[in-house]
Structure 1
Amino acid sequence: MNKNLSFPRPSLQDPRVAFATWFGVGYSPFAPGTTGSIVAALLAWPISQYLGVIGFFVIIIVTLLLGVWASEHYVRVSGQEDSPAIVVDEVAGQWLTLVLIPPDIIYYVLGFVIFRIIDIIKPWPISFLDRRVKGGFGVMLDDCIGGILACLIIWNIWMMTNL
């Protein structure tokens, strides 16, 4: 069940709201964070194939910067510090998970699963930062660190299985 239904739902006509919710994906009635991660994983493959690792990193950096700006606005207009409707953080985190991973369906699925587990359980120091850092930067920070951690886990699995 989507926990953000009792709060004001800012309009997607505002480009900052559209970006924060990843063009409405965050308004999904079922598991908006997971839905955002699925969309991100599906987009990661063509982005990595057409733009390469450096191009993908550029897209991630732009998404991070715009995500902080858009999330800050969404927090302000919705009154929710970290609304489930904000899924641009899941998009950036999922992309950080997959950017250095070979474009292989097994690694992408594994990356999706590991990122979602990290995002849900929020191990230390992610949980600490999630509680302490607020606003748009805080919204983006925990998922980005989770994405980097998931990437390191998948990368190590890849390296161990391809010796």
Structure 2
Amino acid sequence: MAAIRQPDLRFLLQHPYHFLALGFGSGLSPKAPGTFGSLAAIPFYLLLSLICPAWLIACLAVPLFLWGIPICGKAGDELGVSDHGAIVWDEIVAMLPLLAMVPQTVLGWAAAFVLFRIFDILKPWPIRWVDAKVKGGLGVMLDDVLAALPAAAILYFLNPYLH
């Protein structure tokens, strides 16, 4: 693992996987990069929705998750920290199915965002355990997918009220 490096615009643009791992630049936020990465999922989702139905975007999260393992792993190696805060591809990928499952309204997207952030920040068991024990690109990606699961369960029941 390299010495710890603080990512910057040069790092972001150095390689396409840096650009993705750092969430199109949203991970460069000096404060709350995970929150900004989660927010970046919304315009990314809207862009995808121009060419794909919501169910397909949700399914697309699977290959994006698998692709994220080496992307985030390489970026973490180069930054010198396996799960550097600037790496937010995991937040973006985890948000996509949540955005797809809610009514396509600002309220629906806001509910998906807030619930995901709550579980991603609090990391209740087993999310915290996975975050502590599973390292590398898989660990980076997996804890956020796990945080999306309870958010999805709550969104399922809230769905009728989010129109």
Amino acid at match of 1:78: L
**CA spacing shift, 1:147–1:48, aligned 2, 3 Å:** farther
Corresponding position of 1:54: 55
CA contact (8 A) 2:22 2:28 kept: yes
> In structure 2, what is the Cα distance between the partners aligned to 1:94 and 1:22?
12
Query: Which residue matches 1:125?
Result: 126
Q: Distance in 1 between matches of 2:15 and 2:35?
A: 23
Residue by residue over 1:26-62, the C-alpha shift from the partner in whole angstroms, topping out at 9 and shown as x without a partner, is 1122211111111102332443464113320343223
* AA aligned opposite 2:144: D
> Alpha-carbon deviation of 1:152?
1.6
Which position in structure 2 is the counterpart of 1:7? 5
Distance in 2, matches of 1:126 and 1:111, equals: 18
Deviates more, 1:108-117 or 1:98-107: 98-107
- The match for 2:145 is 144
RMSD: 2.0
TM-score (norm 1): 0.86
Comparing 141-150 with 9-18, greater Cα deviation is found at: 9-18
Which amino acid in structure 2 is aligned with residue 152 of structure 1? A
Indicate yes or no: 2:156 matched with 1:155.
yes
Per-residue CA distance 1:33-92 (angstroms, 9 max, x = gap)? 111111102332443464113320343223212211111101211110210010001101
Is the 1:115–1:150 contact (alpha carbons within 8 Å) kept by the matching residues of 2? yes
Q: Provide the aligned length of Structure 1 versus Structure 2.
A: 156
Aligned partner of 2:7: which letter? R
- After TM superposition, list the pairs within 5 Å mapping 1:63-102 onto structure 2: 63-102=64-103
Question: Distance between the aligned counterparts of 2:108 and 2:26, measured in 1?
Answer: 24
2:24 is matched by which residue type in structure 1? F
What's the CA shift for 1:8? Answer: 4.2
Rounded Cα–Cα distance in structure 1 between residues aligned with 2:57 and 2:72: 21
